[in-house]
């Protein structure tokens, strides 16, 4: 693991998610750029001293040299460092699992992509919300045509924790996320908007083609946006609406997805993720759960507990890790990623960066439609 030392939030989540299904063991790390802290963090996590690194370059080199060196590295640093680290590990023949968004700028993402597309190592990106069983079932319903032709995609991701200027009062998570140099120009779009954007096409199966954005930073003195009102157009004629906010009091982690087609509609909310409302036209709405009959294979394979025994955020995150593990197992035998293994990858990451860039572009032009192409 690179990054994720003391005080980091997402690093610990990655560690628990990786551990949950017993596919991964944490054996090496460069957890922090400060030497002392990095070593202390590694020790706390049970990493042996000889695999506790300060410098990720050294880590890549030394792990490559070991017979029992790491097979995969997890990158959980601030955004602007993701890809320079990823490149080094890929070059060392080590699979990469990278936190989102892909990078701080589209430019560096595209440069990296050129290199990474030629690598035969796995590059996975943790858009973790695509790991929830009912999200996968929603995707399967749509793929099977049960919604008919998709007409509208209503997606939102609302939080409230940046409603005040938290970054001024020493809040570490708030500070780096609102600093363009560390988090990128995207602000909330990179932090949470990319999750929602990814989910909208992951579930709908549609390609977003055009975007129009009205971005705002409502908290005085903040340099990055904290609210985004976005319209989308998809290939095939569907339309979408995306609201992203970190200044909406009463919303903790309100990622919600609704998709409507000519035959049926669906609704899903991340905060109670074990249920999916399915409304076939002319029939009563049905509450589908993990125990529903005819649950799709793709949902069944990512659930552990019986219906009524709720699974949560960590389980959804762990599903991404489990899927990547299956890809690693295949890679060990020189096989491609199996068809039924599903995790976000480089192309999803690039799409997210294009989304950020195009949104900024549209908003700076007072809301003109901008094409979403590479």
Q: Which of residues 249-278 bind its own copies (CB under 8 A)?
A: 249-254, 258, 260-267, 270-274, 277-278
Query: Which one, 38 or 227, has the nearer CB to its own copies?
Result: 227
Quote the CA–CA distance of 185 and 233 in Å, as a whole number: 23
Interacting positions 9-28 with its own copies (CB under 8 A): 9, 12-13, 15-16, 19-22
Q: Does 293 bind its own copies (CB under 8 A)?
A: yes
Selection from 285, 248, 252 nearest residue 270 by Cα: 252
CB count in 10 Å sphere of residue 66? 12
Rule CB under 8 A: say whether 68 interacts with its own copies.
no
Alpha-carbon gap, residue 71 to 327, rounded angstroms: 12
3-state secondary structure of 228: strand
- Which C-beta is closer to its own copies: that of 265 or that of 352? 265
Beta bridge partners of 158: 245, 254
First to last CA, the chain: 30
Residue 92 vs 206, nearer CB to its own copies: 206
Residue number, 315 or 345, with CB nearest to its own copies: 315
| Binding of its own copies by 236 (CB under 8 A) | no
| Order of strands across the sheet that contains 95-98 | 2-3, 72-76, 95-98, 123-125
User: Is there binding between residue 6 and its own copies (CB under 8 A)?
Assistant: no
Tokens standing for 169?
């009062």
Q: Is residue 359 part of the contact set for its own copies (CB under 8 A)? A: no
Min dist CB 1 to its own copies, Å, is 14
Instruction: State the burial class of residue 197 (Cβ atoms within 10 Å of its Cβ: 0-12, 13-18, 19+).
Output: buried
Site for its own copies contains 314 (CB under 8 A) = yes
Rank residues 36 and 366 by Cβ distance to its own copies and give the closer one: 366
Does residue 237 contact residue 148 with C-beta atoms inside 8 Å?
no
Name the residue with tokens 């988090």: 183
Q: Is 183 in the site for its own copies (CB under 8 A)?
A: no
- How many residues contact its own copies, by CB under 8 A? 86
Give min distance, CB of 253 to its own copies, in A. Answer: 3
**Member of 64, 140, 182, 231 binding its own copies (CB under 8 A):** 231
- Residue 120 makes contact with its own copies by CB under 8 A: no
């Amino acid at each position: 693991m690179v990054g994720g030392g003391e005080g980091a939030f997402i690093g610990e989540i990655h560690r628990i998610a990786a551990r949950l299904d017993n596919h991964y063991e944490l054996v090496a790390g460069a957890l922090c750029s400060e030497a002392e802290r990095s070593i202390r963090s590694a020790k706390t996590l049970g990493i042996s001293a000889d695999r506790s690194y300060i410098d990720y370059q050294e880590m890549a080199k030394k792990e490559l040299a070991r017979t029992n060196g790491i097979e995969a590295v997890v990158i959980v640093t601030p955004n602007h460092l993701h890809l320079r680290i990823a490149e080094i590990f890929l070059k060392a023949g080590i699979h990469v699992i990278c936190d989102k968004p892909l990078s701080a700028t589209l430019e560096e993402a595209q440069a990296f992509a050129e290199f990474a597309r030629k690598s035969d190592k796995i590059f996975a990106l943790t858009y973790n919300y695509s790991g929830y069983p009912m999200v996968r079932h929603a995707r399967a319903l749509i793929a099977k045509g049960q919604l008919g032709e998709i007409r509208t995609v209503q997606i939102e991701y609302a939080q409230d924790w940046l409603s005040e200027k938290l970054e001024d009062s020493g809040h570490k998570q708030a500070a780096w996320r609102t600093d363009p140099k560390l988090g990128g120009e995207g602000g909330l779009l990179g932090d949470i908007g990319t999750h929602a954007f990814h989910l909208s096409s992951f579930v709908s199966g549609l390609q977003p083609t055009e975007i129009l954005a009205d971005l705002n930073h409502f908290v005085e003195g903040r340099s990055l946006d904290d609210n985004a009102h976005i319209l989308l157009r998809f290939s095939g004629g569907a339309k979408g609406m995306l609201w992203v906010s970190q200044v909406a009091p009463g919303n903790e982690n309100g990622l919600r997805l609704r998709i409507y087609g000519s035959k049926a509609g669906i609704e899903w909310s991340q905060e109670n993720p074990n249920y999916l409302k399915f409304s076939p036209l002319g029939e009563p709405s049905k509450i589908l759960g993990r125990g529903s009959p005819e649950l799709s294979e793709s949902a069944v394979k990512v659930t552990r507990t019986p219906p009524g025994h709720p699974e949560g955020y960590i389980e959804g995150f762990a599903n991404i890790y489990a899927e990547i593990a299956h890809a690693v197992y295949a890679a060990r035998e020189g096989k491609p990623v199996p068809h039924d293994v599903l995790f976000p990858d480089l192309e999803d990451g690039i799409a997210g960066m294009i989304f950020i860039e195009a949104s900024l572009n549209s908003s700076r032009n007072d809301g003109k439609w901008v094409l979403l192409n590479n």
